Structure 1
Amino acid sequence: MSVKSEAENISHHCFAVRLRKLNRMVSRLYDDSFRPYGITIAQFNLLVAVGTERVTSPSQMVQVLSLEKSTVSRNIEKMIQKGWLKRESCTDKRSHLLRLTEKGSQLLSDVTPAWKNAQKEANKALGDASSILTNVPLL
């Protein structure tokens, strides 16, 4: 089998290749919907995680959301600077807790209609394939 035919076979059948493409498509859809609010889907994901109060520290976010530590740190810093999150001291001096600020809570409320619209668009684009995503635990 030639390299070209192997590459074509992989590009048409590889779950990872197709999932990464789908991820970029869906992320773009949500980012476009959230742009007027100044938040990305990655930041929205963290905002929701903190808002549930099930994820309250950066290390928990890394673990629960399967994210890179540097990605979480970078987004948290931006979100603190924008006033959406605040750090709270923890009994363990090596870590801290995160909480939504009033501004962060308001942003979550304000962006919800855009999120609902993006959800509808994603459902249209994915069709029945979206049902497989309900089996993936998020938090």
Structure 2
Amino acid sequence: MEASWNTMRGGFLAYLLNESRNAVMRELDKELAPIGITNAQFRVVVGIAHDRARTLSEFARFLDIDTGAMKRLLDRVEEKGWIRRTRCPNDRRTLILELTEAGRSIYPEIMAVVTRVHQRMLEGLSPVEETQLQYFLQKITANAER
């Protein structure tokens, strides 16, 4: 059997991207645990803070999970007091997600952990290589979206 999967165009690209993502998520989970937040929960807090998503359906698309799982995740984050759901003034059926004061307070702690993990993941890369990596990953994403 030919090992063509072991090339970037034969399947290895997806494997490497997935392995890299999983490694980052594992490290984030480990480093975020002392402040009582998981990497899934941190993505909700940071997603709201960075205006990436504001509703359940937007978050489900942003995090690429089904709406049922997204609702359960939002319930857990809301139970911790970091977010609240308010009715959209333009569409009373839609709930808008907002950070609470507690959510705004934990955000700097989260970002300090994220920065530390990302710095560790990029160890050994020069600033030029970091820029190239960012460019290549953005290009792959753009190719997937066309």
Q: TM-score, normalised by structure 1?
A: 0.78
Question: What is the CA RMSD across the aligned residues, in angstroms?
Answer: 2.5
Q: Which of 1 and 2 has higher RCO (CA within 8 Å, sep 6+)? A: 1
- Taking the TM superposition and a 5 Å limit, the aligned residue runs for 1:1-139 are 2=1, 5-6=2-3, 9-11=4-6, 13=8, 14=11, 15-63=13-61, 65-68=62-65, 69-91=67-89, 92-124=91-123, 128=129, 130-131=133-134, 132-134=136-138, 136=141
Alpha-carbon separation, structure 1, partners of 2:6 and 2:124: 20
Give, in whole Å, the separation in 1 of the partners of 2:56 and 2:125. Answer: 31
Number of matched pairs: 131
Deviation at 1:66, TM superposition (A): 4.8
Shift >6 Å, 4+ stretches: none
1:72-117 Cα offsets, whole Å, 9 max, x none, are 2221111001111101012423320110011111111222221211
Compute the displacement of 1:125 (Å).
6.8
Identity %: 23
Q: State the TM-score, normalizing by the size of structure 2.
A: 0.75
Partners in 2 of 1:46 and 1:126 — Cα distance? 29
56 and 134 in structure 1: CA distance in 2 versus 1, 3 angstrom threshold: same
